[in-house]
Each structure stands twice: as C-alpha cells, then as structure tokens.
Structure 1
Amino acid sequence: MWCLRLQFQFQCGRGQHLPPRIKTCRAPLYSACKAGGEGDRTQSFSLSVCDSRVRVTGVSSPALGSTGLNWTQTGLEQSSGLKMKMFYISTLLLISFATLDARPQTSGLVQKCKSGPMDLVFIIDSSRSVRPFEFETMRKFMIDIINPLEVGLSNTRVGVVQYSSQVQNVFSLKTFSNKSDMEKAINEIIPLAQGTMTGLAIQYAMNVAFTEEEGARPLSKNIPRVAIIVTDGRPQDRVTEVAAQARDTGIEIYAVGVQRADVSSLRTMASHPLDDHVFHVESFDLIQHLSIQFQDKLSCVDMCTEMDHGCQHKCVNIPSSYYCECNEGYKLNADGKTCSLIDLCAQGNHGCEQICVSSPGSYSCACRAGYQLNEDKKTCSLIDLCSQGDHGCEQICVSSPGSYSCACRAGYQLNEDKKTCSMIDYCSYGNHSCQHECVSILNGYYCRCNEGYTLQADGKTCLADDMCNVVDHGCEFKCVSTPGSYYCICPEGQELQADGKTCNKCSTGYVDLVLVIDGSKSVRPQNFELVKEFVINIVDSLAISAQGTHIGLVQYSSRVRTEFSLDQYKNAQDIKTAVKNVQYMEKGTMTGLALKHMVEQSFSEAEGARKNVPKIGLVFTDGRSQDDISEWAKKAKEAGITMYAVGVGKAVEDELNEIASEPVNKHSFYTADFSTMNLIAEDLKLNICPEEIKGTTETKNPCDCEHLVSFQTSTITKLESLSEQLAQLNARLDDLENELVSKK
C-alpha cells in the first residue's frame, strides 16, 4: 500500500460560489468557501491519496468540523501501521488543482470559458509507439470530454482525426449529431501504427477537417474552432509554420503530450497563453484525468447567466467564476461592477490650442475650419488649401475661400475623381484610319506601324521592312527581303531549283561513304542517340540511289561491327531506318582497329565498294583511342580514301588531325558537347559533296536597271517617312509654343 499527503491553501473570494447544479470534483472545496461566509480569505485543506483513493479534509473550518470532505469512503488510517512512502507529485495532480482559484489576476492573460456551441476536432497520435492498452486510454479521454458537451448540428459539433505516417479522418464535424454514435465510432478506431507526422495532421485539420464541406460553420458566425492534439513522441516533420498558419485561420490549439512527447514541440503547436493550452503527463494512465480540466474549459457553466453578477457593462465568464469589464473609454469603479466615462479633455491638461476631441480612453486635437494641425499635433496654423500641397490635384489647384477645386491644362480633361487628368484621346473617336496603331498626342494624333513595318507617305498605311519575317516564304536555305517582296538563295556550292525555294543536293556526283561511329561506354546511351541523329542529318544531304551515293555504317568499341555495308541499302529511307535500329555497344575505344576494318572490309568490293567512285571515310569519336591509329590512318589515305574526323567532348585534337586528310582544317571538326554536333553539319555536308558539283553563286551587278529602281524606291519611301516624322515634330513644337504664350 502507498500513500501521499499534501497540505495546501485555497483562496476564497467574491464570485466563487457555485450554483447547486454544478457537480465537479472541486465542488467540496467551493462548499468550504461558501460555509465560511463572504469576503476574501484563505481556506486550508489537506489532500490524501492512498492506492488511487483521494480524500480532502478541511482544516479549522467551522462548517466542516472534524468530519472533512471525502471523495471516497476510505481514509488514511487504514494503513495498518505500514510505513508511508512519499512519491513524486505528478504533473497531472498539480495541473488539476492549479485552477482552483478562479479569480482574474491583475497580470497575465485570463482563460475564458467556451460557453455556447463550438466546432471541436480531436487530432490523436496512433503511431506504432502507442501501445494498444495506451490507445484505449485515449479513447476514454475523448469520450470523457464529449460526454458533458451539448452536441448537435446547432450545438457543439465533434470530429476525430487520427494520424501516423498518414492522416485518416475517423468522422467529420457533420457526421454525427449524438454522443452514442460518436462513442461507437471512437471505440471502432483501428490505430495506423506507423510514424509520427504531426505537421501533416495539423495541415489536414486546417485544409480539410475545419472546412465548411466537412461540417465546420462559417467564420462569420463566430463559432469557436478548437483542436485538441494528443501525441506521445517528437514530430517527424515540421510543425512550427503549419501550426502558426492554423492558428492564424482562427483555430485554437490545445497540445497534450504523453511520456516521450517533446515539450518544445507542444509549445510550438499550442495557442497562447501556453499555460492554458499545453499539457504534459508522464503516462497514458494519467491522461484520462485531464478530461476534468477540458470539461471545465470547454463546457464550463456560464456564471454570468447563472448568477446575478451586477456588472453594468460586461460580464466575462471564466472557469467557475466571472468578473466585470467596462466598454472602451470607461473605467471600472471601486465596487468592481459599475463603470464611469473617462473624459480626458475635461481634465484640462490636453494641451490642444483650439479643439480637444474626446474618444473612449483617449483624445485628439483638432482645428477650426481653415486651419491645419501642426506637427506637434496640438497647435494650429492658418492654411491655403492649394499651397499646402495636399489637395491631390494632378495638374492645377484653384483656391477658393475655405475650399479648392482641380483643373487641367489644355489638351487634358478632368477625370471622374475630380483630381486627376488624362490626355484627350483623339484616337478613340474612331476616324483616324490608321492601318496599324493610332497614337494620341497633345491636341491631335498620329499613326504608327507595328515593329518591322514602315509608315508610308499617306501617314496611315504600313509596308513591311523585312518581308521574310512576315510571310511564309518557304526558302530552304535563306530568304532575302526586298521592298514589298523577297527571294530565296542557296549556300555556295548549291543551286536554286525551279520552284524558287529549294536547293540541290549532291546530285551531280556520287560517292561511297562509310561512317565509322564510336560506341564506347564513355559516349553513354542518351548521347549515342544524338550521334544517330547526326548520321541521319548527313544522310538527308546526299542523293542516295542505286546509281548515286552509297552509304555504309560501322560501329566500334572494344571490337568492330558492320551495321550495314555499302551495297545493302539503295535509298535514304531504308538507311535512316537502319540507323535508328542500331544498338549501342558500350565498352572500350579501339579506333585503330576500326580504321583497319574500314580499309580492309568496308571499302572492299565484297561489301559493295565501286571502282572509280570517290571513297570517303568519316570517323566519329569522343575520346583517346586505346590502340595505335597511325598505321591504319596512313593506309586509309594511301588507299585513296578521303578521311574526315569528327571529335566531341574529350576527343584528342592530335588524333583527329592524324586521321583527317589534307588540308586538315577542312577535314577535321570538333565540338565540345553532343547537343551541338549539328552546328558543324552544314560545313561537313558541303565538304562531303564531290568537288565537281560545287558551283559558284552568281554575283549580280548592282548597277543593273532593276537594282537601281529598287534602290530608288526604297530611298524615296524612307525620305517620305522622315518627312512625316518631321511634320509631326513641328506640330508638337507649335502646340508647346501656343501653350507657353497662353500662360503668359
């Protein structure tokens, strides 16, 4: 058997007497105060706890005598001589009696009652650290709090949310309207038994549980929104910001921690004052006793309606008591009930030079009409409303006795606010006839063309400066604009076709081209796809046919593989399909072995090489070769093969130059990144074409008649545009001159 004895004092005072219908665990204590009569005094008590049984005995109380007050029928004298042991007083016991003195204090915040309906949501921790029998105490904790509440759609609404690593809505505020259904649903909760994502649960309560869709009443109805969070551990996510957001939306948060709960996290989550919203107990066995306090906070009796409080202005209900307050601008008299107006102006020390204006709890100085308050906020000075500068007129302020009006300069009109001005919009009249854009100016307007167009001599219509930018020209290579028209041109070495848009390819000659591409692991799969696109780009530039250009493809890494030979495909579409289907080899970089394969096999008659047809080899690599390239690079050139080398990334310049034919600057190409390979494609395409098909671009004589006419037309157009702009500037100068003259 264990026993604990605690002696304490309870302060009796005005407003402490409870109506007979209040039946809380503190009723015997208040009864002792009532028996002692009116007035402020101290009542002493003795608290005894033995084997979970509690006895409270009044000391020196004429109303109680030696009998005392008992919650149980068992006293301390049944210990049978066993030695009494003193135990550490738990946080629960101190909290339970800390609120016995319900009188408001002169310092700090007073926790008021939640009388009337509210929207209450329990947010309970069902993580794996909460054992089954501990979860049962949480069920009872919720049920004990709900029991004394008046629940219903027009009264208090209750919802329950459980959380772990995820959040589960047990029932919403709109789900049940009676306690029995709520109790049944609470008893059927299956714990989630995972992590402790408290921040996620608060986010859910704010965004879902307390929404009107889930049964919360609109904020305009001023129904309190209350959340009770119960947790036994440290949150595994952030709670500071989301808890602050929840409180800012009007949710009052109570934080209850059990056992290992982090007190600093509880204080971060809870509403203020923290002493009234943060609770921590040492075990789940003790949590059910907290329900008494929550009953007091959430469903306390409205003492202001139960008793004849006598407050002249306001009665403020607090747990088990009340106190009086006055409206703003009034002070509470010595009787603690009546109020008197505070007239600071009447006290005569306000310092206002002209007028003192009283307001509840304060005053301000004012001036008579035609005067303004100085910076000292007490003295006044005579003012000219316009010269004061606060008239708000955008352009002109016109003073009048005791008032003013706003006006605008010529070419402007007063807006509806009677203060600001806007330029008269002549374009809005709709008769300007501008082709593109009408621009209003002071006392007139002018036409303006969109970017890329030039205003014509009529001052209204527009002509494009660069026709290539405003039409779908369809030029394959480049579009050249002329006044009111355009034409297409081709790169050097290619001729414009009969359609006037496309350019010829290597169609007047043909070659046997073998592409040798690096498939080593340093290339990587995504870049190998870019290499294949590069090959397809080269294929598109050549005229491939049975009698035209033939293409073969070789891939190498630690070994060499012929993907297709020179005589395998006779059209570009089949070649491009085969290129797309090539599989990446990975492994090493044996460039020398690949050159040997190209010379001995790829350009052999067995694989389709033709006699007296130019042979071109194009080697693509992204790094240093792991074998010697000198021997077979030399043999390739001796065999009459024109060699091109393309390097990317870490390719070695010396090796590229050794592979390439002379002159090296026309046969060796390098780019730092796979994504920019196509930037060198155009130069490479032209170099691959046989020399005999490279033509020259015709140079036209600029002194020909048609060119002189075109130049003359363009020059006249620009001169007319400049003349129009000059006329507009002269008109604006005239307007400014007239305005200056009128002001004189």
Structure 2
Amino acid sequence: MSSSRGGLTMWFCDGLLVGCPAGCLLRRTSVFGTNVYAAVSSVCGAAVHSGLLGTSGGTVRLKRLQGRHGYRGSSSHGVQSQSLSHWISSFSLSKGGNSVCVCVCADCQADIAVVMDSSTNIGQRRFNLQKNFIAKLAAALKVGATGPHVGLIQASDSPKTEFLLTNFTHPKDLLFAIRQTTYLGGNANTGKALLHAAQSIFSSELGARRGHPRVLLALVDGWPSDDVERAATFARDSGINVFIVSVAKASPEELSMVPDRNFSRKAVCKDNGFFSYSIPSWFNAAKHTRALSTRLCSLDQLLCSKTCYNSVHIGFLIDGSSSVGYVNFQLVLDFLVGIARSFDISDVGAHIGAVQFTYDQRLEFGMFDNDNKEDAIDALRRISYMSGGTSTGSAINYAVHNLFRPAARGRNFLIVVTDGQSYDDVRGPATAAHSQGVTIFSVGVAWAPLELLRVMSSEPKDTHTFFTRDFSGLSDFIQPVVHNICTDYSHNN
C-alpha cells in the first residue's frame, strides 16, 4: 500500500492487516483527529499519529471505529492535525498480527437500481466511460442470484428502464447488458428518473426482494436539469437509500447555470456525507468502484432501509388501576422501556406513544412527541401512577384515536398491559382497532382473565397473548414481544 493512497474504506471490517512500505513520506497527506484516531488520511499518515511505524515500514492492524463529534486538532510527531465537527467513521491502528479480515461485499444482498446520466451534457465519449464504470462497479459488487441484484435506468428527457433487478443475475449476462446500453441524449432529468425508479423498480411485482435493502444510485455528470427533492422524499418514505455520485462538478464559471447547487444534499438518504460521493472525472472513475461498492453494501449504514426496528409505531396502553400498586407499576414501566430500547426511535424511524388508564384515560405522550430514543425512554420513565378503576375497552378506543395515524397494515401496534377484569366491554373496541389496522398484543398479569386477553389480542391469538402470575415475570416477555412485532411487520411489508 503506497504512502500516497488515501480514503481507505473500512465500512465492514472489525480488523484488517495492511502493510506500509519503507521510506513512507507524508506528502499529500491530510491527518485528522488525535492520538490513534484518523480519518480521511493515508495509512502512513495515520501511523505517524500513533507512532507505531517508523521510516522502515511494517504491518499494522486497522480497526473501524464509530464516528465522532467535535474532535479537536493537535500536533503529534511533527504533524498538525485538523479539527473536525463530525465524521461518520474512522479507524485506529495497533500492532500487526496474523489474521486478516476479508473486507468486501461477500454478504451483500441489496437490491440496487442505478440511474445513469444519458443527457446531451455527458456526450457519447463520457457515456461510454460511464458504462465502463457501472460494469466495474457491478463486478465489485459480486452480483449473483443470492447476492446483490442490479437494475439500470437512463436519465434523459424521460426515464428509460434498461433492465430490472432480476433480469440479469449472472455476472457475464449483466456486464453484456450494461455494455449494450445505447446513448439517448436530451436533458438530465435525474429527478424524473429517480421517481420512476423508486415507484417501479422496487416493486415486488417487478422482482424486488422482500426484506432486502433497497439502494438507488444516481450518477450525475455536472448537475441535474430538474428538481430532485420530490423524488428523494418519496424514495426515503419508501425505505429506499438514495446515493448521489457527482462526476465533474460545476466549475466556478458554471455555477450560475446550476438550478440548485444543493441538489445532492437534498437527494440523498441522509445528508451526513456517507450517501454523497464525488469523482473528479470519468477518466479516472474506475478506481473508485471498490470504495463505492463497499458503501452500497454497508447494511448498518443504510439508514433509510425500512425494517420493523425503524418503521413501526408502538402504542403502550398501561393499566394504572389501584390493584397494580406503585411498585408493580414501576415494573410495568421497566418492561415497556425494555421493548422501546429494541427499536430505532427517531424522527424518520420507529415511534412510541403511551396512554395510562383507570376509569379515565390520560395521554402520557403522543406517538410523534419524541424524535429520539433517549427522550422517548425518559418520557416513559416519567409516567406517574394514577390509581383508580379499570375500563380497558374505553381505553382502547381512546388510544387508537389519540396515538395512531392511518398506516399500512403491520406498522401500528398497541401493547395493552393489565392486571385485572375490565368493567366495560372490550370486544367491540378491540375489533374496531383490528379493522383499522392496529395490531394488539395483550399482556396480562395476576388476575387478568385469559379469555379477556384473547378477546383483545390480534390473530393468531397464541402469538399476541401473554400472561404471567407475577409482575416480575414481565421482563421475560420483552424479546418474544419484539420478535412477534417484527414477524407481523415482515409478513405485511
């Protein structure tokens, strides 16, 4: 590995051995961070920071670290590092060992739609270079029947689908299809192409696989002719991870002609740097395929993928009657906190809300009141015990109308925790909730009648009904409830 190589991509590896040559110089190297941390630097530049390597070279182990905020610059080994407000990943160095981590797309199973630029702006020559880049990217992805699937759409005046995700799952057939793609010309209507791809390519009827991450990669030569924001919003709402690769960005003289200079930031899944990629020219684009393919296959970084953990809306309906008691009420809250911790609660992810009931109902916090997990869990823990009677039926009606918005089946869940007999009818309210797409889990404790629990719970009753004699047994239900929520979600989405 030469000392001038930069931008080492380490999205998958827990540990990777690399060699640094003797006489490694620090020219053209940018070092960020302090001590053993480095980001956006050459391997040798990072090694100087830790003092592990001298000019004689050697082997070091790199380990991926999570991103950091507010990292201060410092001077180390004669190198002044720069400060960073934020980055999404970095790596540390330690003494080399014997094991090696193979760090590519071995387990990648994403469905990837590529939107290529076929506008007049790119021209025939650069269009051919773009096809070569896509072919090399497909090879790096290791496309196969059980691996990544790739579809291709051309962006021009109107989008044109060249082939679907399942048309070519053999590498040779796929490469041939890419090279057979013909140049269209016209406007670079990337927004239209993104919307077309998001609305059609990823449908199960056209071959998109259920439960597989969905990635939409747009290649843009210069800048788009149309607006991309509407298409990007639709893609995000549909669980599609949009990447933008900008090639040959506008020069300072051309900026006045660009309709929206922030098009890339608006189009990507999340404006955190991970989903945007810049290539100076099509003539050297091929050397970027490995780094880009690794990003596309970094499943833990694909923040817009819809899973049960980041897509469901869970309402907690909590019995606050006198028979529960203060101590047991805290055990109920602990149980609900355990469930909440299992989900990725955020403004674009999962949401939770809570209602406490006796004869009356009290909205503790709404489904969309907290946009991060920490605040949501704090809100749960702050719930104060009411004490009173038990009217579960009225509480179900109240929760359905005050917690949930209309959503696709398998998205809205209501977990009812109660310790006794309801003084009102529960069958009617529960049936109404089911018909409105709300899946009910009934969790009974102590004197809660099993028949009542099964009347409330959704089908199949056995996987949506839980009972324990003692409040301390609630913790045993955390994982089964979470598992069954995800089973319901997967079945319906």
TM-score (norm. length: structure 2): 0.48
Larger Rg: 1
TM-score by length of 1: 0.33
